[in-house]
């Protein structure tokens, strides 16, 4: 028999896109799954939409009062019967080959405990952009130092790995609970991203990632502090600066530009000594974050362009040509 997947989809007032999300799961090419839909105290028409579906694979759970996303996810993980646990958000669309692609990949790679994929994102599927994410474990591990290189709604996890290492979501890291989980799991199991878009990630104003920006920044600081101190004995000021670099909330002036460069160069030297991250992968991650910050600083015009191309953090071929051209044009317009 094919491995069973447990799909966990919490719903809280998700009436706008819920029908599309449910259909995208029920219409998967891979049919052997249970679908746990958790109505987390919705006050809109979400339950009526859920009740329009009568597929035998659906398990409809209703919480009368809202318990929050983290509670629902952990509840779903504990109740799941499948060999694999798949995440799904109630405003996204899983492409029809998502489950068969990820299951096949994980069956062929038994060391992989957590598998995401590339995504398309935007307001509508027809007006979406492709986001490519790092594919292999060491690349993902290095990127985690700065950002989350795993798209949470695409994730498929091996249940025995999650239970063995007690990899549950933590309430204190609300709104970026996935990032904290990946950091906790990265040295316990192997990660991978499937090299094709398997999900459409919808961007809209009601998203938590947009509406809870300030709270997210405070939570990010706690996460960065925890793992940075395992890497090196950084000061509070350095940890705050790291957070600003990653979230791109730093001051946009020339002095800050040099501070970013020297900080990133320092990180590279520290890793050469302690060898926590693969040197080549870590170098590439530093080059990516250096470019992203220079891009944000493009208001400094030709000056930032000159600085970017004159530093030792530049390596040909690291940044896609189209992205570099946009950066070049933005700088020219500000000269």
Q: What is the pLDDT of residue 210?
A: 55
Gap between the terminal Cα atoms of the chain:
64
Task: Indicate if 257 and 108 belong to the same structural domain.
Answer: no
Buried/exposed 206-233: b ≥16 CB within 10 Å, e otherwise: eeeeeeeeeebeebbbebbeeebeeeee
Task: Indicate if 150 and 39 belong to the same structural domain.
Answer: yes
Cβ within 8 Å of residue 188, ≥6 positions away:
113, 161, 165, 167
* Residue that finishes a domain, picked among 206, 228, 254: 206
Q: What is the pLDDT of residue 113?
A: 98
* Residue that finishes a domain, picked among 182, 206, 230: 206
Task: Indicate if 124 and 252 belong to the same structural domain.
Answer: no
Domain that holds residue 233: 210-333
Task: Indicate if 168 and 285 belong to the same structural domain.
Answer: no
CATH code where residue 147 lies: 3.90.550.10
The helix (H) or strand (E) run that includes residue 307 is: helix 302-310
Task: Indicate if 186 and 240 belong to the same structural domain.
Answer: no
Cβ within 8 Å of residue 49, ≥6 positions away:
15, 18, 19, 22
C-alpha to C-alpha distance for 307 and 321, rounded to whole angstroms:
18
Give the Cβ contact number of residue 173 at 10 Å: 21
Q: What is the pLDDT of residue 194?
A: 98
Task: Indicate if 50 and 195 belong to the same structural domain.
Answer: yes
Regions of the chain with pLDDT less than 50: none
**Domains held by the chain: number:** 2
Task: Indicate if 85 and 190 belong to the same structural domain.
Answer: yes
Sign of torsion over alpha carbons 17, 22, 27, 29: positive
Q: Is the pTM of this model over 0.85?
A: yes
C-alpha to C-alpha distance for 92 and 171, rounded to whole angstroms:
23
Reduced to 3 states (helix: H, G, I; strand: E, B; else coil), residue 49 is: helix
| Residue 219 φ/ψ, nearest 5 degrees | -70, -40
Task: Indicate if 226 and 310 belong to the same structural domain.
Answer: yes
Task: Indicate if 225 and 171 belong to the same structural domain.
Answer: no
Task: Indicate if 270 and 329 belong to the same structural domain.
Answer: yes
* Residue that finishes a domain, picked among 185, 206, 227: 206
Maximal CA-CA distance, the chain = 64
Contacts 24+ apart (CB under 8 A), 45-50: 45/15, 46/11, 46/12, 46/13, 46/14, 46/15, 46/18, 46/90, 49/15, 49/18, 49/19, 49/22, 50/11, 50/18, 50/22
Spatial contact of 148 and 225, defined as CB atoms under 8 Å apart: no
Spatial contact of 5 and 82, defined as CB atoms under 8 Å apart: yes
C-alpha to C-alpha distance for 283 and 268, rounded to whole angstroms:
7
Contacts 24+ apart (CB under 8 A), 302-305: 302/331, 302/332, 302/334, 302/335, 303/254, 304/257, 304/331, 305/331, 305/332
Task: Indicate if 195 and 261 belong to the same structural domain.
Answer: no
Task: Indicate if 148 and 61 belong to the same structural domain.
Answer: yes
């Amino acid at each position: 028999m094919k491995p069973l997947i447990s799909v966990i989809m919490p719903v809280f007032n998700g009436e706008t896109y819920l029908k599309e999300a449910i259909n995208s799961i029920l219409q998967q090419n891979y049919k052997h799954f249970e679908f746990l839909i958790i109505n987390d105290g919705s006050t809109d028409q979400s339950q009526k939409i859920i009740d329009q579906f009568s597929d035998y694979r659906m398990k409809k759970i209703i919480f009368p009062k809202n318990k929050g996303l983290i509670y629902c996810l952990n509840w779903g993980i504990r109740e799941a019967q499948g060999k694999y646990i798949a995440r799904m958000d109630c405003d996204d669309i899983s492409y029809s080959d998502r489950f068969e692609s990820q299951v096949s990949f994980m069956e062929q790679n038994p060391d992989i405990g957590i598998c995401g994929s590339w995504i398309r994102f935007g307001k509508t599927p027809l007006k979406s952009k492709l986001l490519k994410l790092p594919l292999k474990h060491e690349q993902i591990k290095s990127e985690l130092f700065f950002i989350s290189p795993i798209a949470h709604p695409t994730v498929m996890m091996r249940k025995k790995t999650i239970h063995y290492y007690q990899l549950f979501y933590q309430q204190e890291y609300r709104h970026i609970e996935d990032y904290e989980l990946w950091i906790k799991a990265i040295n316990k199991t192997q990660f991978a991203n499937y090299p094709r878009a398997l999900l459409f990630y919808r961007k809209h104003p009601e998203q938590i990632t947009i509406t809870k920006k300030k709270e997210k920044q405070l939570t990010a600081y706690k996460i960065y502090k925890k793992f940075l101190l395992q890497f090196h004995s950084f000061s509070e000021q350095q940890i705050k600066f790291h957070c600003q670099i990653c979230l791109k909330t730093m001051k946009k002036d020339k002095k800050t530009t040099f501070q970013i460069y020297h900080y990133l160069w320092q990180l590279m030297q520290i890793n050469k000594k302690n060898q926590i991250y693969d040197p080549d992968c870590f170098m590439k991650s530093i080059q990516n974050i250096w470019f992203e910050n220079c891009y944000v600083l493009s208001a400094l015009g030709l000056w930032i362009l000159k600085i970017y191309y004159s530093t030792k953090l530049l390596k040909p071929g690291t940044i896609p040509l189209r992205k570099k051209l946009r950066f070049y044009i933005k700088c020219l317009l500000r000269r």
